[in-house]
Amino acid sequence: MKTLTVSLPGRSYEIQIARGLLDRAGAACRAVLPRADKLFVVTDSNVGPLYGARLERSLAAAGFSAAIHTVPAGESAKCADRLARLWEEMMAFGLTRADAVVALGGGVVGDLAGFAAATILRGVDFIQIPTTLLSQVDSSVGGKVAIDLDHGKNLAGAFWQPRLVLMDPDTLDTLSDATFADGMAEVLKYGCIFDRAFFAFLAQRPNRARLMEEIEYILYQCCDLKRKVVEEDERDTGRRMLLNFGHTLGHAYELAGHYETWTHGQAVAAGMVRAAGLGEKLGLTPAGTAEAIAGALTPLGLPTAISCTAEEYAAAIGLDKKGAGAEISLILLEELGRAVPRRMSKQTLLEELV
C-alpha cells in the first residue's frame, strides 16, 4: 500500500492507495472512526451496482450499520433538491455527530456527499472512496465540496476535509475509455503546472494499457503534488489556484455545451491547450508548449480545441470564482512544469480570446 498524509492543523488525514482496498475499507474506516456506529454511504446508479454490496459487506464486518443511498449518475444530481433529500434521509437513518458519511463514486458523488456531511448536524466526519481516475487524482483530495446552482457549477459549497481517502485502482477497470481519458486530463495537468519530468513520463505512455501498468505511481504522484499545495493553501487563495490551469477556459467550454456536450476532463483538456497558446501569444510561455500539451492529449482521444462564442467566454469569466471585480487571475505557464497566475482585466482576456 502507498500512503500519503495531508497535514493540516487538527484535520490531518491519510490517502491510502492499494489494489483490493475496497474489500478492506471497513477496517480502514474503523481505524479512524472508533466511536461511530452508523455510516451513510452515498453512491450513484452506475457505481452502486458494481461496488455497493462489496463495500456494505466490508463495513458490516467492521461493526458498522450502513445505509446505501443511490443518486442518479451525472452532474444533475449535484443540486439543492438532492442535497435536501440527503439531509432528510440521514436524519431518518438516525445519523449522529459520532457517525459519518461515505462517498463511493466519482466527483459528483464526492462533492454532493461531502457538502451534505459538512452541513448536516453542523458537520459530521466524511470518508472519500473515489472510483474514477478524475476523482482519485483531483476532487477527493483537498476538501472542496459543493453543489451546482442555476447560475453555474460549484457555486454553493464549503471546505470540508475528509477523515480518510481510500483509493482502489481496481475500480478503474470498469471505466469506459472515455471516462478514463477524462481523468487523464487532470493527471496531465499536474505535469504541466508542477513537474515537467512527470509530464514527459505520461507523454511516453500514450494509451490506457501502458498507463495502468504504472497506475499506483501515477496516483501517488498526483496526490502528493496536490497534498503539498493543499497543506500550503487550504482555502484556495494563493498557490492552490495554480490547480485551476485550464479550468477558467474549460468552464466556458462546459457552458458552451450546456454541461452536456463536453465532460469536465474534455473541457479542461481544451482549456489547457488554449491557455498555453494564450501564454505563447503574450510572450510568457515558450513557443511549442501548446503543441506539446496537445500531443499528449490527442492519443487519449481528448479534444485540443472547442468552439466557444464571445458571449460564452464572457459568461464563464464573469462567474469564475477566481475573478475579482473587473479583473481575473488566469493560470498560465512560464514553461512546462511551472505555472504562474497572471492578473488581467476580464475585458483584456476576452479580447485575446476572440
Sequence spans of domains, the chain: 2-174, 177-353
DSSP lists the bridge partners of residue 14 as 5, 164
Torsion of CA 156, 160, 162, 168, to 10 degrees: 30
Query: What confidence category does residue 101 fall into, taking pLDDT thresholds of 50, 70 and 90?
Result: very high
Label the pairing between strands 2-6 and 13-17.
Answer: antiparallel
Q: Which of 91, 230, 220 is nearest to 159 (CA)?
A: 230
Beta bridge partners of 165: 15, 128
**Residue with C-alpha cell 473515489?**
130
pLDDT in tens, 47-77: 999 999 999 999 999 999 999 999 999 999 9
Q: Give the residue, 171 or 258, on which the prediction is more confident.
A: 171
Do residues 329 and 346 make contact, with C-beta atoms less than 8 angstroms apart?
A: no
pLDDT at 225 over 90: yes
Whole-model pTM: value is 0.94
Question: What's the CATH class of domain 2-174?
Answer: alpha beta
**pLDDT at residue 179, as a whole number:** 96
Q: Phi then psi for 6, rounded to 5 degrees? A: -90, 110
Q: What is the CATH number of domain 177-353?
A: 1.20.1090.10
All three cell numbers of 78, joined, read 449535484
Q: In this predicted structure, what is the pLDDT of residue 318?
A: 80
Q: What is the pLDDT of residue 49?
A: 98
Q: What is the DSSP letter of 286?
A: P
CA dihedral 97, 103, 104, 106 (to 10 degrees): 180
Exposed, middle or buried by CB within 10 Å (0-12, 13-18, 19+), for 30?
Answer: middle
Dihedral through CA 230, CA 10, CA 121, CA 143, nearest 10?
10
What was the pLDDT predicted at 323? 56
> pLDDT digits over 146-196, tens only?
999 988 789 999 999 999 999 999 999 999 999 999 999 999 999 999 999
Confidence of residue 324 (pLDDT cuts 50, 70, 90): low
Query: What's the CA gap between 130 and 61, in Å, rounded?
Result: 21
